[in-house]
Amino acid sequence: MYERSSVAELAEFLRSELDRYPIGGKLPSSRALVERYRVSPVTVSRALAQLAAEGLVVTRPGAGAFRSRPRTADPLTGDTSWQEVALSAEGAGDVVPRSVDASGVLASLAAPPTGVIELNSGYMHSSLQPERAMAAALARAGRRPGAWGRPPVEGLPELRDWFAREIGGGVGAADVLVTAGGQSALTTALRALAPPGAPVLVESPTYPGLLAIARASGCRPVPVPADAEGVRPELLAAAFEATGARVFVCQPLFQNPTGSVLSAARRPEVLRIARAAGAFVVEDDYARHMAHEDAGPLPATLAAEDADGIVVHVRSLTKITSPSLRVGAIAARGPVMDRLRAIQVVDSFFVARPLQEAALELVGAPAWPRHLRTVAAELRHRRDVLVGALRRELPGAELPHLPLGGYQLWVRLGGEGDDAAFVAAALRAGVAVAPGRPYFCAEPPAAHVRLSFSGVPGPGDLVEAVRRLRGTLA
């Protein structure tokens, strides 16, 4: 029995037997529960902690667990309908609606129903995560001197130095600010660089989380079409001229969702165009550690090729480790760093020091390069398995680009395809996929879906998912 399921089962058993004990009555000891239910002491401890969190028991160190007094229901049932007016009323200075559409983000965060194969995940399955290495790193981090003290607001110097070396070029530790993951870093960057109402140029298609950040910040995302070689420079220049934008956000390496890489010829063009427009380029380098085994040498970061402070670089450890290891970084040169630092301090003070210490322990351990090699091989294998299954079973689905990194395939639906109908049919067949519409901030040129191959237990699940899709569409 898996540990998580055994905890849930034991908690349910104890919950059903609580009526046998009076209010304040003592439950059997942990040792007795271990013997009665044949589970580990850890399982007993977690089950009791779950009941305590529900307010059903009270645990007293050294004394045991006791049944608590039932909570009384809150009698207040006020009318909150007034909030619809307050939240939607726009003042004279509001240039964009203040409502926030997080559906594109939630699609990759929500756990699917039992029995549904998860091809819409934004993270790696636990079988691909370095769980043992992270647990060991967290344990070592907790024993570091001062591990629970207040860190510098910019982040631990050693961690900033590690990020600087990873980014490369002339980036130094003083140019790096540690953030609570990539999403937080992107939010800080947009708030620093684009005032409310300002246009922000984005690749089309692009990551829905970025579009949500822009709109929540009161900015107007403006699409710039991209192809297999990345953003098209001539259209980028035209967009800067037409809108007067001062920010362009891109993912030059293994772009989400297409998996494309900005070509060597276009890289200097993008920097030249931004420099001529007096604009910043926010480089979201989210997938550098998710290169596939056959990717070959990776291009340097745009930040490493920028000497004039044009590039604001964003990266994170979250994708390659765990959704809960929310540690990332922003790198920037010049006065903009002062603004980035000020915004982060106001928003969250700093990133929790134990997480920073654990990240340092993890990336400095011998298990780290082994983990990267394992993921590179497994992602390539899963990509090939999913591509092969699609070509055999769903020949009408088009793959415009075969990615060499990242964790997803961008699939164009043939004919008069409808991504919403496809997603609904897939879910009825027991497969969760991500619709393509949220990846566009304007009308999409065609119907697409995004299929993630990292969030399932193994390659066999990918084959089964495509088999289910074939049966439904047929």
Domain that holds residue 439: 103-128+369-473
In total, how many domains does the chain have? Answer: 3
Q: Are residues 277 and 380 in the same domain?
A: no
Contact 424, 116 (CB under 8 A): no
454 and 328, same structural domain?
A: no
- The secondary structure element, H or E, covering residue 45 is helix 41-53
Cα–Cα dist 223/230, whole Å = 13
In a domain, 284, yes or no: yes
Give the residues of the chain that fall short of pLDDT 70.
Answer: 1-5, 71-78, 80-100, 103-104, 107-108, 415-416, 472-474
Residues 162 and 60 in one domain: no
Residue at a domain's end among 306, 330, 363 = 363
H or E segment to which residue 158 belongs: helix 157-167
Query: Residue 254 sits in a domain of what CATH number?
Result: 3.40.640.10
Torsion region of 294: left, alpha or beta (phi above 0 gives left; psi -120 to 50 gives alpha): alpha
Asked whether residue 78 is domain-assigned, the answer is no
CATH code of the domain in which 63 resides: 1.10.10.10
Q: Is 452 in the same domain as 334?
A: no
Return d(Cα 231, Cα 190) in angstroms, integer. 19
Q: Does a structural domain hold residue 80?
A: no
**Residues 393, 346 share a domain:** no
Q: Which of 67, 85, 112 is the last residue of a domain?
A: 67
Summarised one tens digit per residue, pLDDT across range 202-225 is 999 999 999 999 988 889 999 999
Domain match, 207 and 153 both = yes
If asked whether residues 219 and 146 sit together in one domain, one would say yes
Its pTM stands at: 0.81
**Which CATH number do you get for residue 408?**
3.90.1150.10
- 453 and 339: one domain? no
Q: Does one domain contain both 180 and 322?
A: yes
pLDDT of the residue at 97:
57
Phi, psi of 452 (to 5 degrees): -90, 135
- Contacts of residue 370, defined as CB under 8 A and 6 or more positions apart, other chains included, come to none
